[in-house]
Chains A and B, each alone.
Chain A
Amino acid sequence: MATSSYGLIATFDTAPEIYQAAQKVRDAGYKNWDCITPFPVHGLDGAMGLGRSLVPRISLVGGIIGFCTGMSMIFWTGAVDYKLIVGGKPFFSPMFAFPVSYELTILFTAFATIGGMFFLNGLPMHYHPVLKYKDIKRGMDDTFFIVIEARDPRFNLANTKALLEQAGGKAITELEA
Protein backbone atom coordinates (compact mmCIF):
# COMPACT_ATOMS: atom_id res chain seq x y z
CA MET A 1 0.00 0.00 0.00
CA ALA A 2 2.93 2.30 -0.50
CA THR A 3 1.42 5.40 -1.94
CA SER A 4 2.50 8.99 -1.96
CA SER A 5 -1.11 10.13 -1.85
CA TYR A 6 -3.15 10.49 1.37
CA GLY A 7 -6.40 10.76 -0.53
CA LEU A 8 -8.73 13.19 -2.23
CA ILE A 9 -10.32 16.31 -0.82
CA ALA A 10 -13.38 17.97 -2.30
CA THR A 11 -14.93 21.30 -1.40
CA PHE A 12 -18.63 22.04 -0.82
CA ASP A 13 -20.27 25.40 -0.23
CA THR A 14 -23.33 24.60 1.86
CA ALA A 15 -24.46 22.16 4.54
CA PRO A 16 -27.20 20.58 2.35
CA GLU A 17 -24.63 19.94 -0.39
CA ILE A 18 -22.22 18.12 1.87
CA TYR A 19 -25.12 16.26 3.49
CA GLN A 20 -26.24 14.87 0.14
CA ALA A 21 -22.69 14.22 -1.01
CA ALA A 22 -22.01 12.30 2.23
CA GLN A 23 -25.00 10.09 1.49
CA LYS A 24 -23.58 9.33 -1.95
CA VAL A 25 -20.12 8.49 -0.59
CA ARG A 26 -21.74 6.32 2.10
CA ASP A 27 -23.84 4.50 -0.49
CA ALA A 28 -20.76 3.93 -2.66
CA GLY A 29 -19.45 1.85 0.24
CA TYR A 30 -16.47 3.90 1.43
CA LYS A 31 -15.30 3.40 5.02
CA ASN A 32 -12.12 5.50 5.46
CA TRP A 33 -13.37 8.98 4.84
CA ASP A 34 -14.51 12.01 6.75
CA CYS A 35 -16.38 15.27 6.55
CA ILE A 36 -14.88 18.56 7.72
CA THR A 37 -17.46 21.19 8.63
CA PRO A 38 -17.17 24.57 10.33
CA PHE A 39 -20.04 23.71 12.67
CA PRO A 40 -21.96 20.56 13.67
CA VAL A 41 -24.41 19.55 10.92
CA HIS A 42 -27.38 17.72 12.48
CA GLY A 43 -27.94 14.31 11.00
CA LEU A 44 -24.59 14.21 9.21
CA ASP A 45 -23.58 11.14 11.22
CA GLY A 46 -26.59 9.34 9.78
CA ALA A 47 -25.82 10.58 6.27
CA MET A 48 -22.25 9.29 6.67
CA GLY A 49 -23.55 5.93 7.88
CA LEU A 50 -21.80 6.19 11.25
CA GLY A 51 -23.16 3.89 13.94
CA ARG A 52 -23.34 4.54 17.65
CA SER A 53 -20.06 5.29 19.34
CA LEU A 54 -18.29 2.52 21.22
CA VAL A 55 -17.55 4.86 24.13
CA PRO A 56 -20.60 3.72 26.21
CA ARG A 57 -19.25 0.14 26.23
CA ILE A 58 -15.94 1.37 27.61
CA SER A 59 -17.83 3.49 30.16
CA LEU A 60 -19.76 0.42 31.30
CA VAL A 61 -16.54 -1.55 31.81
CA GLY A 62 -15.12 1.37 33.79
CA GLY A 63 -18.24 1.51 35.94
CA ILE A 64 -18.17 -2.20 36.73
CA ILE A 65 -14.46 -2.02 37.63
CA GLY A 66 -15.16 1.00 39.85
CA PHE A 67 -17.99 -0.74 41.70
CA CYS A 68 -15.93 -3.89 42.25
CA THR A 69 -12.94 -1.83 43.36
CA GLY A 70 -15.02 -0.03 45.99
CA MET A 71 -16.60 -3.18 47.35
CA SER A 72 -13.37 -5.19 47.43
CA MET A 73 -11.30 -2.33 48.87
CA ILE A 74 -13.70 -1.89 51.78
CA PHE A 75 -13.96 -5.63 52.25
CA TRP A 76 -10.18 -6.01 52.32
CA THR A 77 -9.44 -3.10 54.64
CA GLY A 78 -12.37 -3.72 57.02
CA ALA A 79 -12.75 -7.47 57.12
CA VAL A 80 -9.24 -8.76 56.27
CA ASP A 81 -6.38 -6.35 56.78
CA TYR A 82 -7.39 -4.28 59.80
CA LYS A 83 -10.46 -5.54 61.59
CA LEU A 84 -12.06 -2.83 63.68
CA ILE A 85 -15.54 -2.68 65.13
CA VAL A 86 -17.12 0.67 64.30
CA GLY A 87 -20.55 1.58 65.67
CA GLY A 88 -21.37 -2.04 66.47
CA LYS A 89 -21.53 -2.83 62.78
CA PRO A 90 -20.19 -5.97 61.08
CA PHE A 91 -16.65 -5.89 59.67
CA PHE A 92 -18.10 -5.85 56.20
CA SER A 93 -21.55 -5.11 54.89
CA PRO A 94 -22.57 -4.05 51.40
CA MET A 95 -24.70 -1.40 53.13
CA PHE A 96 -21.91 0.89 54.20
CA ALA A 97 -19.70 -0.15 51.29
CA PHE A 98 -22.36 0.95 48.84
CA PRO A 99 -21.96 4.76 48.95
CA VAL A 100 -18.22 4.51 48.35
CA SER A 101 -18.62 1.88 45.65
CA TYR A 102 -21.22 4.08 44.03
CA GLU A 103 -18.85 7.05 44.04
CA LEU A 104 -16.07 4.92 42.55
CA THR A 105 -18.49 3.62 39.92
CA ILE A 106 -19.10 7.18 38.81
CA LEU A 107 -15.43 8.17 39.03
CA PHE A 108 -14.17 5.18 37.04
CA THR A 109 -17.00 5.59 34.52
CA ALA A 110 -15.90 9.18 33.98
CA PHE A 111 -12.25 8.14 33.57
CA ALA A 112 -13.20 5.34 31.17
CA THR A 113 -15.45 7.68 29.17
CA ILE A 114 -12.80 10.37 28.76
CA GLY A 115 -10.02 7.84 28.17
CA GLY A 116 -12.13 5.77 25.80
CA MET A 117 -13.10 8.87 23.85
CA PHE A 118 -9.46 9.91 23.39
CA PHE A 119 -8.45 6.35 22.56
CA LEU A 120 -11.13 6.00 19.88
CA ASN A 121 -10.81 9.42 18.24
CA GLY A 122 -7.01 9.41 18.32
CA LEU A 123 -6.74 12.85 19.92
CA PRO A 124 -4.53 14.70 20.62
CA MET A 125 -3.20 14.55 17.07
CA HIS A 126 -0.46 17.02 16.31
CA TYR A 127 -0.21 16.38 12.61
CA HIS A 128 -2.66 15.36 9.96
CA PRO A 129 -2.11 15.28 6.17
CA VAL A 130 -5.15 17.46 5.46
CA LEU A 131 -3.44 20.32 7.34
CA LYS A 132 -1.15 20.69 4.33
CA TYR A 133 -4.08 21.57 2.10
CA LYS A 134 -3.91 25.26 1.32
CA ASP A 135 -7.61 26.05 1.88
CA ILE A 136 -8.12 23.87 4.94
CA LYS A 137 -8.50 26.85 7.26
CA ARG A 138 -11.69 27.78 5.49
CA GLY A 139 -13.12 24.60 7.00
CA MET A 140 -13.26 26.56 10.25
CA ASP A 141 -15.13 29.40 8.58
CA ASP A 142 -17.50 28.86 5.68
CA THR A 143 -16.46 25.83 3.64
CA PHE A 144 -17.19 22.12 3.88
CA PHE A 145 -14.84 19.33 2.84
CA ILE A 146 -15.05 15.63 2.22
CA VAL A 147 -11.80 13.67 2.46
CA ILE A 148 -11.61 10.12 1.11
CA GLU A 149 -8.46 8.31 2.15
CA ALA A 150 -6.35 6.33 -0.27
CA ARG A 151 -6.18 3.41 2.17
CA ASP A 152 -9.88 2.75 1.70
CA PRO A 153 -10.21 -0.56 -0.17
CA ARG A 154 -12.59 1.03 -2.66
CA PHE A 155 -10.29 3.94 -3.36
CA ASN A 156 -9.32 4.37 -6.99
CA LEU A 157 -8.01 7.74 -8.07
CA ALA A 158 -10.13 8.07 -11.20
CA ASN A 159 -13.34 6.50 -9.87
CA THR A 160 -13.25 8.29 -6.54
CA LYS A 161 -12.63 11.58 -8.29
CA ALA A 162 -15.60 10.90 -10.55
CA LEU A 163 -17.78 10.09 -7.53
CA LEU A 164 -16.85 13.32 -5.77
CA GLU A 165 -17.46 15.30 -8.93
CA GLN A 166 -20.81 13.66 -9.45
CA ALA A 167 -21.68 14.38 -5.78
CA GLY A 168 -21.12 18.06 -6.44
CA GLY A 169 -17.61 18.48 -5.04
CA LYS A 170 -15.46 21.30 -6.31
CA ALA A 171 -11.69 21.84 -6.41
CA ILE A 172 -11.00 18.12 -6.04
CA THR A 173 -7.37 17.85 -5.05
CA GLU A 174 -5.02 15.02 -4.26
CA LEU A 175 -3.52 15.30 -0.79
CA GLU A 176 0.12 14.58 -0.10
CA ALA A 177 0.66 11.83 2.43
Chain B
Amino acid sequence: MSTPAAPSSTPPAAGKFLLIGVAGLAATALGLVISGAQNVAYSYLVGFSFWAAIAIGMMMLILIHHVFDANWSVLIRRQFEHGLSAFKWLALLFLPLWLASVFYQSDLIWPWMNLDHVMHGGHTVGQDVLYTKKASFLNLNMFTGMTAAFFVIWMWLSARLRKASFSQDADGDLKWTHMNRKTAAFGIPLLALSLSFAAIYWIKSLEYHWYSTMYGVWFFANCVRGALSCGVLIMIWLIARGDYRGIVNKNHFYSIGLLVFAFTVFWAYVTFSQYFLIWNANVPEETFWYNLREIYADGTPSQWKYVGFFILFGHFLAPFLYLLSYKHKVTPAYIRPAAIWILGVILVDLCYNILPALKDAHGDPLPFLSLNLLWVLTSVVGVGGICIWSYLKSFPTTKLFPIRDPRIGECLTYHE
Protein backbone atom coordinates (compact mmCIF):
# COMPACT_ATOMS: atom_id res chain seq x y z
CA MET B 1 0.00 0.00 0.00
CA SER B 2 1.46 3.31 -1.02
CA THR B 3 1.54 6.21 1.36
CA PRO B 4 -0.74 9.08 0.37
CA ALA B 5 1.98 11.61 -0.37
CA ALA B 6 4.21 9.22 -2.29
CA PRO B 7 5.45 10.95 -5.43
CA SER B 8 4.23 8.12 -7.60
CA SER B 9 2.30 5.07 -6.55
CA THR B 10 2.18 1.84 -8.46
CA PRO B 11 1.11 2.72 -11.99
CA PRO B 12 -2.35 1.45 -12.82
CA ALA B 13 -2.62 -1.18 -15.55
CA ALA B 14 -3.04 0.91 -18.70
CA GLY B 15 -2.46 -1.79 -21.31
CA LYS B 16 -5.73 -3.49 -20.39
CA PHE B 17 -7.66 -0.43 -21.53
CA LEU B 18 -5.78 -0.24 -24.81
CA LEU B 19 -6.91 -3.82 -25.46
CA ILE B 20 -10.50 -2.94 -24.50
CA GLY B 21 -10.37 0.11 -26.75
CA VAL B 22 -9.02 -1.78 -29.73
CA ALA B 23 -11.57 -4.55 -29.14
CA GLY B 24 -14.37 -1.95 -29.05
CA LEU B 25 -13.17 -0.36 -32.27
CA ALA B 26 -12.86 -3.78 -33.89
CA ALA B 27 -16.41 -4.63 -32.84
CA THR B 28 -17.58 -1.31 -34.30
CA ALA B 29 -15.76 -2.16 -37.53
CA LEU B 30 -17.59 -5.47 -37.56
CA GLY B 31 -20.79 -3.43 -37.56
CA LEU B 32 -19.86 -2.04 -40.97
CA VAL B 33 -20.55 -5.49 -42.39
CA ILE B 34 -23.74 -6.05 -40.41
CA SER B 35 -25.48 -2.66 -40.39
CA GLY B 36 -23.79 -0.81 -43.22
CA ALA B 37 -21.42 2.12 -43.21
CA GLN B 38 -23.93 4.90 -42.58
CA ASN B 39 -25.56 3.47 -39.44
CA VAL B 40 -22.19 2.63 -37.93
CA ALA B 41 -20.72 6.03 -38.81
CA TYR B 42 -23.55 7.83 -36.97
CA SER B 43 -23.20 5.53 -33.98
CA TYR B 44 -19.47 6.11 -33.97
CA LEU B 45 -20.06 9.86 -34.06
CA VAL B 46 -22.09 9.48 -30.84
CA GLY B 47 -19.34 7.49 -29.14
CA PHE B 48 -16.68 9.88 -30.33
CA SER B 49 -18.59 13.03 -29.26
CA PHE B 50 -19.18 11.53 -25.83
CA TRP B 51 -15.48 11.23 -25.02
CA ALA B 52 -14.53 14.39 -26.87
CA ALA B 53 -17.11 16.22 -24.71
CA ILE B 54 -15.54 14.87 -21.52
CA ALA B 55 -12.03 15.88 -22.60
CA ILE B 56 -13.25 19.36 -23.61
CA GLY B 57 -15.05 19.67 -20.27
CA MET B 58 -11.90 18.74 -18.38
CA MET B 59 -9.97 21.43 -20.21
CA MET B 60 -12.68 23.97 -19.49
CA LEU B 61 -12.56 23.13 -15.79
CA ILE B 62 -8.77 23.52 -15.69
CA LEU B 63 -9.00 26.89 -17.44
CA ILE B 64 -11.74 28.08 -15.08
CA HIS B 65 -9.67 26.86 -12.13
CA HIS B 66 -6.71 28.98 -13.24
CA VAL B 67 -8.62 32.09 -14.19
CA PHE B 68 -10.38 32.19 -10.82
CA ASP B 69 -7.23 31.22 -8.93
CA ALA B 70 -9.28 28.52 -7.21
CA ASN B 71 -7.89 26.53 -4.31
CA TRP B 72 -10.14 23.53 -3.64
CA SER B 73 -9.66 22.07 -7.12
CA VAL B 74 -5.83 21.87 -7.18
CA LEU B 75 -5.93 18.12 -6.46
CA ILE B 76 -8.47 17.12 -9.07
CA ARG B 77 -6.94 19.50 -11.60
CA ARG B 78 -3.95 17.19 -11.90
CA GLN B 79 -6.22 14.31 -12.91
CA PHE B 80 -7.91 16.50 -15.52
CA GLU B 81 -4.46 17.40 -16.85
CA HIS B 82 -3.81 13.70 -17.38
CA GLY B 83 -7.17 13.49 -19.14
CA LEU B 84 -6.06 16.15 -21.64
CA SER B 85 -3.50 13.71 -23.00
CA ALA B 86 -6.39 12.08 -24.90
CA PHE B 87 -6.77 14.92 -27.43
CA LYS B 88 -4.13 13.61 -29.83
CA TRP B 89 -5.85 10.22 -29.85
CA LEU B 90 -9.25 11.84 -30.29
CA ALA B 91 -7.86 13.67 -33.34
CA LEU B 92 -6.73 10.33 -34.72
CA LEU B 93 -10.08 8.74 -33.89
CA PHE B 94 -11.95 11.49 -35.74
CA LEU B 95 -9.98 10.70 -38.89
CA PRO B 96 -12.13 7.70 -39.99
CA LEU B 97 -15.21 9.95 -40.16
CA TRP B 98 -13.40 12.49 -42.28
CA LEU B 99 -11.73 9.88 -44.51
CA ALA B 100 -15.05 8.12 -45.08
CA SER B 101 -16.66 11.43 -46.07
CA VAL B 102 -13.86 12.37 -48.45
CA PHE B 103 -12.92 9.07 -50.04
CA TYR B 104 -15.85 6.71 -49.55
CA GLN B 105 -19.16 8.57 -49.79
CA SER B 106 -19.39 12.32 -49.38
CA ASP B 107 -22.92 12.33 -47.90
CA LEU B 108 -22.31 9.32 -45.67
CA ILE B 109 -22.65 11.38 -42.48
CA TRP B 110 -23.09 15.07 -43.30
CA PRO B 111 -25.56 15.27 -46.21
CA TRP B 112 -24.53 18.80 -47.24
CA MET B 113 -21.09 17.53 -48.27
CA ASN B 114 -22.71 16.16 -51.44
CA LEU B 115 -24.49 18.82 -53.50
CA ASP B 116 -26.33 16.07 -55.41
CA HIS B 117 -27.66 14.50 -52.23
CA VAL B 118 -31.43 14.18 -52.70
CA MET B 119 -33.41 15.67 -49.83
CA HIS B 120 -36.74 14.41 -48.61
CA GLY B 121 -39.08 16.12 -51.08
CA GLY B 122 -37.10 15.44 -54.22
CA HIS B 123 -34.73 18.42 -54.59
CA THR B 124 -30.99 18.23 -54.08
CA VAL B 125 -28.82 19.99 -51.53
CA GLY B 126 -27.37 22.17 -54.30
CA GLN B 127 -30.88 23.43 -55.18
CA ASP B 128 -31.76 24.09 -51.55
CA VAL B 129 -31.78 27.79 -50.74
CA LEU B 130 -31.28 26.99 -47.06
CA TYR B 131 -28.04 25.33 -48.07
CA THR B 132 -26.80 27.83 -50.64
CA LYS B 133 -27.15 30.65 -48.09
CA LYS B 134 -24.93 28.68 -45.72
CA ALA B 135 -22.62 27.27 -48.39
CA SER B 136 -19.65 29.43 -47.48
CA PHE B 137 -19.82 27.99 -43.96
CA LEU B 138 -20.91 24.44 -44.72
CA ASN B 139 -18.44 23.05 -47.24
CA LEU B 140 -15.79 20.41 -47.10
CA ASN B 141 -12.85 22.84 -47.04
CA MET B 142 -14.29 24.80 -44.15
CA PHE B 143 -15.20 21.61 -42.32
CA THR B 144 -11.71 20.19 -42.76
CA GLY B 145 -9.96 23.41 -41.85
CA MET B 146 -12.14 24.10 -38.83
CA THR B 147 -11.92 20.54 -37.51
CA ALA B 148 -8.14 20.64 -37.90
CA ALA B 149 -8.13 24.00 -36.12
CA PHE B 150 -10.21 22.62 -33.22
CA PHE B 151 -7.75 19.82 -32.59
CA VAL B 152 -4.72 22.07 -33.02
CA ILE B 153 -6.19 24.52 -30.48
CA TRP B 154 -7.07 21.77 -28.03
CA MET B 155 -3.72 20.00 -28.31
CA TRP B 156 -1.82 23.26 -28.06
CA LEU B 157 -3.74 24.44 -24.98
CA SER B 158 -3.32 20.97 -23.44
CA ALA B 159 0.40 21.03 -24.07
CA ARG B 160 0.74 24.46 -22.45
CA LEU B 161 -1.38 23.56 -19.41
CA ARG B 162 0.37 20.26 -18.88
CA LYS B 163 3.86 21.62 -19.37
CA ALA B 164 3.41 24.46 -16.90
CA SER B 165 1.76 22.31 -14.26
CA PHE B 166 4.21 19.40 -14.55
CA SER B 167 7.27 21.67 -14.65
CA GLN B 168 6.17 23.35 -11.44
CA ASP B 169 6.34 19.97 -9.66
CA ALA B 170 10.09 19.98 -10.29
CA ASP B 171 11.13 23.57 -9.60
CA GLY B 172 8.18 25.20 -7.79
CA ASP B 173 8.66 28.32 -9.86
CA LEU B 174 5.70 30.73 -9.70
CA LYS B 175 6.15 31.65 -13.36
CA TRP B 176 4.34 28.41 -14.24
CA THR B 177 1.28 29.55 -12.30
CA HIS B 178 1.37 32.86 -14.14
CA MET B 179 1.78 31.07 -17.46
CA ASN B 180 -1.28 28.95 -16.68
CA ARG B 181 -3.26 32.01 -15.75
CA LYS B 182 -2.40 33.60 -19.09
CA THR B 183 -3.28 30.41 -20.94
CA ALA B 184 -6.61 30.43 -19.11
CA ALA B 185 -7.34 34.04 -19.99
CA PHE B 186 -7.06 33.51 -23.74
CA GLY B 187 -7.88 29.83 -23.62
CA ILE B 188 -11.44 30.25 -22.33
CA PRO B 189 -12.71 32.25 -25.32
CA LEU B 190 -10.73 30.01 -27.70
CA LEU B 191 -12.16 26.87 -26.18
CA ALA B 192 -15.68 28.31 -25.95
CA LEU B 193 -15.63 29.18 -29.66
CA SER B 194 -13.99 25.95 -30.79
CA LEU B 195 -16.32 23.70 -28.80
CA SER B 196 -19.37 25.61 -30.08
CA PHE B 197 -18.23 25.36 -33.67
CA ALA B 198 -17.33 21.70 -33.17
CA ALA B 199 -20.87 21.03 -31.93
CA ILE B 200 -22.28 22.95 -34.90
CA TYR B 201 -20.11 21.27 -37.55
CA TRP B 202 -20.10 17.75 -36.18
CA ILE B 203 -23.58 17.42 -34.70
CA LYS B 204 -25.93 20.26 -35.55
CA SER B 205 -25.08 20.32 -39.28
CA LEU B 206 -26.40 16.76 -39.60
CA GLU B 207 -29.72 18.56 -40.04
CA TYR B 208 -28.45 21.77 -41.53
CA HIS B 209 -31.93 23.32 -42.00
CA TRP B 210 -32.21 23.84 -38.31
CA TYR B 211 -31.42 27.00 -36.38
CA SER B 212 -30.56 27.17 -32.72
CA THR B 213 -28.27 29.72 -31.13
CA MET B 214 -28.27 27.65 -27.93
CA TYR B 215 -26.58 24.65 -29.48
CA GLY B 216 -23.00 25.41 -28.50
CA VAL B 217 -24.10 26.17 -24.95
CA TRP B 218 -26.03 22.92 -24.79
CA PHE B 219 -22.88 21.05 -25.81
CA PHE B 220 -20.78 23.01 -23.32
CA ALA B 221 -23.18 22.09 -20.50
CA ASN B 222 -22.84 18.41 -21.37
CA CYS B 223 -19.05 18.71 -21.66
CA VAL B 224 -18.64 20.15 -18.19
CA ARG B 225 -21.19 17.83 -16.59
CA GLY B 226 -19.43 14.85 -18.12
CA ALA B 227 -16.01 16.04 -16.97
CA LEU B 228 -17.24 16.75 -13.43
CA SER B 229 -18.86 13.33 -13.22
CA CYS B 230 -15.61 11.74 -14.39
CA GLY B 231 -13.78 13.86 -11.80
CA VAL B 232 -16.01 12.46 -9.05
CA LEU B 233 -15.38 8.90 -10.23
CA ILE B 234 -11.61 9.50 -10.47
CA MET B 235 -11.55 10.89 -6.92
CA ILE B 236 -13.43 7.87 -5.61
CA TRP B 237 -11.17 5.54 -7.57
CA LEU B 238 -8.01 7.18 -6.23
CA ILE B 239 -9.32 7.01 -2.67
CA ALA B 240 -10.06 3.32 -3.15
CA ARG B 241 -6.56 2.80 -4.55
CA GLY B 242 -5.09 4.55 -1.54
CA ASP B 243 -3.50 7.42 -3.48
CA TYR B 244 -5.95 10.07 -2.25
CA ARG B 245 -7.00 8.37 0.98
CA GLY B 246 -7.01 10.91 3.78
CA ILE B 247 -6.24 13.67 1.28
CA VAL B 248 -9.58 14.19 -0.38
CA ASN B 249 -12.08 15.18 2.28
CA LYS B 250 -15.81 15.69 2.23
CA ASN B 251 -15.45 19.38 1.47
CA HIS B 252 -13.81 18.51 -1.85
CA PHE B 253 -16.75 16.26 -2.61
CA TYR B 254 -19.13 18.99 -1.54
CA SER B 255 -17.54 21.49 -3.94
CA ILE B 256 -17.43 19.18 -6.93
CA GLY B 257 -20.91 17.91 -6.05
CA LEU B 258 -22.21 21.47 -6.00
CA LEU B 259 -20.77 22.01 -9.47
CA VAL B 260 -22.38 18.81 -10.73
CA PHE B 261 -25.64 20.11 -9.28
CA ALA B 262 -25.14 23.59 -10.74
CA PHE B 263 -24.45 22.23 -14.20
CA THR B 264 -27.50 19.96 -13.93
CA VAL B 265 -29.57 23.11 -13.52
CA PHE B 266 -27.56 24.92 -16.21
CA TRP B 267 -28.06 22.09 -18.69
CA ALA B 268 -31.79 22.13 -17.98
CA TYR B 269 -31.95 25.90 -18.32
CA VAL B 270 -30.22 25.86 -21.70
CA THR B 271 -32.05 22.84 -23.06
CA PHE B 272 -35.43 24.09 -21.90
CA SER B 273 -34.77 27.57 -23.32
CA GLN B 274 -33.93 26.05 -26.69
CA TYR B 275 -37.09 23.95 -26.66
CA PHE B 276 -39.34 26.64 -25.24
CA LEU B 277 -38.31 29.37 -27.69
CA ILE B 278 -38.82 27.03 -30.64
CA TRP B 279 -42.14 25.81 -29.24
CA ASN B 280 -43.33 29.34 -28.61
CA ALA B 281 -42.26 30.82 -31.96
CA ASN B 282 -43.62 27.77 -33.82
CA VAL B 283 -41.61 28.39 -37.01
CA PRO B 284 -41.46 25.32 -39.29
CA GLU B 285 -37.71 25.73 -39.99
CA GLU B 286 -37.12 25.14 -36.31
CA THR B 287 -39.97 22.95 -35.12
CA PHE B 288 -39.24 20.19 -37.63
CA TRP B 289 -36.19 19.22 -35.58
CA TYR B 290 -38.34 18.43 -32.55
CA ASN B 291 -41.17 16.99 -34.64
CA LEU B 292 -38.73 14.44 -36.06
CA ARG B 293 -37.92 13.51 -32.50
CA GLU B 294 -41.52 13.04 -31.49
CA ILE B 295 -43.76 11.78 -34.26
CA TYR B 296 -43.61 9.87 -37.54
CA ALA B 297 -44.69 11.58 -40.73
CA ASP B 298 -48.19 10.12 -40.19
CA GLY B 299 -48.45 11.72 -36.75
CA THR B 300 -48.06 8.63 -34.59
CA PRO B 301 -45.58 8.95 -31.74
CA SER B 302 -42.13 7.48 -32.31
CA GLN B 303 -39.69 6.02 -29.81
CA TRP B 304 -37.79 9.28 -29.76
CA LYS B 305 -40.70 10.94 -27.97
CA TYR B 306 -40.11 8.66 -24.99
CA VAL B 307 -36.35 9.17 -25.24
CA GLY B 308 -37.09 12.90 -25.00
CA PHE B 309 -39.20 12.35 -21.89
CA PHE B 310 -36.49 10.16 -20.44
CA ILE B 311 -33.98 12.96 -20.98
CA LEU B 312 -36.29 15.50 -19.33
CA PHE B 313 -36.68 13.40 -16.19
CA GLY B 314 -33.39 11.49 -16.25
CA HIS B 315 -31.07 14.28 -17.32
CA PHE B 316 -32.64 16.95 -15.16
CA LEU B 317 -35.34 16.10 -12.63
CA ALA B 318 -33.90 12.94 -11.08
CA PRO B 319 -30.31 14.22 -10.62
CA PHE B 320 -31.68 17.62 -9.54
CA LEU B 321 -33.80 16.20 -6.73
CA TYR B 322 -31.13 13.69 -5.76
CA LEU B 323 -28.31 16.23 -5.60
CA LEU B 324 -30.35 18.74 -3.58
CA SER B 325 -29.35 16.75 -0.52
CA TYR B 326 -26.11 17.67 1.21
CA LYS B 327 -25.51 14.07 2.22
CA HIS B 328 -25.77 12.87 -1.38
CA LYS B 329 -23.09 15.32 -2.45
CA VAL B 330 -20.49 14.61 0.25
CA THR B 331 -20.77 10.84 0.66
CA PRO B 332 -18.75 8.98 -2.01
CA ALA B 333 -21.14 6.03 -1.94
CA TYR B 334 -24.06 8.37 -2.71
CA ILE B 335 -22.51 10.64 -5.32
CA ARG B 336 -20.94 7.80 -7.30
CA PRO B 337 -24.25 6.44 -8.67
CA ALA B 338 -25.27 10.00 -9.56
CA ALA B 339 -22.04 10.52 -11.52
CA ILE B 340 -22.45 7.22 -13.39
CA TRP B 341 -26.10 8.03 -14.09
CA ILE B 342 -25.24 11.47 -15.47
CA LEU B 343 -22.60 10.00 -17.80
CA GLY B 344 -25.23 7.54 -19.03
CA VAL B 345 -27.86 10.19 -19.74
CA ILE B 346 -25.30 12.41 -21.50
CA LEU B 347 -24.81 9.50 -23.89
CA VAL B 348 -28.58 9.24 -24.40
CA ASP B 349 -28.74 13.01 -24.95
CA LEU B 350 -26.06 12.73 -27.66
CA CYS B 351 -27.98 9.83 -29.24
CA TYR B 352 -31.10 12.03 -29.21
CA ASN B 353 -29.24 14.81 -30.98
CA ILE B 354 -27.36 12.71 -33.52
CA LEU B 355 -29.16 9.48 -34.38
CA PRO B 356 -32.57 10.84 -35.57
CA ALA B 357 -30.70 12.43 -38.48
CA LEU B 358 -30.54 8.88 -39.85
CA LYS B 359 -33.70 8.56 -41.94
CA ASP B 360 -35.49 5.63 -43.49
CA ALA B 361 -37.00 5.66 -47.01
CA HIS B 362 -40.05 7.65 -45.79
CA GLY B 363 -37.94 10.36 -44.21
CA ASP B 364 -38.71 9.11 -40.71
CA PRO B 365 -35.86 8.75 -38.23
CA LEU B 366 -34.74 5.22 -37.49
CA PRO B 367 -36.01 4.07 -34.09
CA PHE B 368 -33.94 4.48 -30.94
CA LEU B 369 -34.05 0.80 -30.05
CA SER B 370 -32.20 -0.76 -32.94
CA LEU B 371 -28.97 -2.49 -33.69
CA ASN B 372 -27.38 0.96 -33.95
CA LEU B 373 -27.49 1.19 -30.18
CA LEU B 374 -25.06 -1.73 -30.07
CA TRP B 375 -22.64 0.15 -32.34
CA VAL B 376 -23.01 3.21 -30.12
CA LEU B 377 -21.94 1.08 -27.18
CA THR B 378 -19.03 -0.52 -29.01
CA SER B 379 -17.90 2.95 -30.10
CA VAL B 380 -18.14 4.25 -26.54
CA VAL B 381 -16.06 1.30 -25.35
CA GLY B 382 -13.63 1.69 -28.26
CA VAL B 383 -13.01 5.42 -28.03
CA GLY B 384 -13.28 5.28 -24.22
CA GLY B 385 -10.71 2.50 -23.95
CA ILE B 386 -8.21 4.57 -25.92
CA CYS B 387 -8.94 7.73 -23.87
CA ILE B 388 -8.66 5.91 -20.53
CA TRP B 389 -5.48 4.21 -21.70
CA SER B 390 -4.05 7.61 -22.59
CA TYR B 391 -5.05 8.98 -19.15
CA LEU B 392 -3.54 6.02 -17.32
CA LYS B 393 -0.35 6.22 -19.39
CA SER B 394 0.04 9.86 -18.40
CA PHE B 395 -0.90 9.17 -14.75
CA PRO B 396 2.40 7.71 -13.46
CA THR B 397 4.57 10.27 -15.29
CA THR B 398 4.00 13.01 -12.68
CA LYS B 399 3.34 13.51 -8.99
CA LEU B 400 -0.09 12.51 -7.76
CA PHE B 401 -0.98 16.13 -7.17
CA PRO B 402 0.79 19.44 -7.86
CA ILE B 403 2.96 19.43 -4.74
CA ARG B 404 4.50 22.85 -5.40
CA ASP B 405 1.37 24.65 -6.53
CA PRO B 406 1.04 27.84 -4.44
CA ARG B 407 -2.53 26.85 -3.54
CA ILE B 408 -1.83 23.23 -2.60
CA GLY B 409 -1.79 23.99 1.14
CA GLU B 410 -5.18 25.65 0.95
CA CYS B 411 -6.48 22.75 -1.09
CA LEU B 412 -5.32 20.10 1.37
CA THR B 413 -6.83 21.93 4.34
CA TYR B 414 -9.89 22.99 2.37
CA HIS B 415 -13.10 23.53 4.32
CA GLU B 416 -16.43 25.04 3.38
A residues sitting closer than 8 Å to B (CB atoms) are 42-43, 52, 56, 60, 87-89, 95-96, 98-99
Contact = CB atoms under 8 A, between A and B. Distances in A.
B324 A60 contact: yes
A60 B321 CA distance: 10
B276 A98 contact: yes
B326 A56 contact: yes
A95 B415 contact: no
A87 B276 CA distance: 14
Contacts of A96: 276, 280
B412 to A, nearest CB: 15
A42 to B, nearest CB: 6
Contacts of B272: 98
B326 A42 contact: no
A97 to B, nearest CB: 11
7 contacts: A56-B324, A87-B280, A95-B279, A95-B280, A96-B280, A98-B272, A98-B276
A99 to B, nearest CB: 7
By secondary structure, the B interface counts as helix
Interface size class of B (residues with CB under 8 A): under 10
Given A98-B272, A98-B276, A88 B282 contact: yes
Interface of B: 272, 275-276, 279-280, 282, 324, 326, 415
Nearest to B416: A42
Nearest to A63: B324
B276 A99 contact: yes
A56 B275 CA distance: 31
A87 B415 CA distance: 52
A42 B279 CA distance: 50
Contacts of B276: 95-96, 98-99
A42 B410 CA distance: 14
Contacts of A56: 324, 326
A43 B250 CA distance: 14
Contacts of A88: 282
A87 B277 CA distance: 13
B215 to A, nearest CB: 20
B290 to A, nearest CB: 12
A88 to B, nearest CB: 7
A52 B324 CA distance: 14
A98 B276 CA distance: 9
Nearest to B268: A102
A42 B415 contact: yes
A116 to B, nearest CB: 15
Contacts of B415: 42-43
A-B pairs, top 7 by smallest CB distance, nearest first, are A95-B279, A95-B276, A42-B415, A52-B326, A96-B280, A98-B272, A60-B324
A69 to B, nearest CB: 19
Contacts of A98: 272, 276
A89 B282 CA distance: 10
A87 B272 CA distance: 19
A56 B324 CA distance: 9
Contacts of B324: 56, 60
Contacts of A52: 326
A55 to B, nearest CB: 11
A43 B251 CA distance: 12
Contacts of A95: 275-276, 279-280
A18 to B, nearest CB: 18
B2 to A, nearest CB: 29
Contacts of B275: 95
Given A56-B324, A56-B326, A89-B280, 16 more contacts: A42-B415, A43-B415, A52-B326, A60-B324, A87-B280, A87-B282, A88-B282, A95-B275, A95-B276, A95-B279, A95-B280, A96-B276, A96-B280, A98-B272, A98-B276, A99-B276
A115 to B, nearest CB: 19
B253 to A, nearest CB: 15
Nearest to A43: B415
A120 to B, nearest CB: 16
Contacts of A89: 280
Nearest to B325: A56
Nearest to B273: A99
Contacts of A87: 280, 282
B324 to A, nearest CB: 7
B142 to A, nearest CB: 36
A96 B276 CA distance: 8
B18 to A, nearest CB: 45
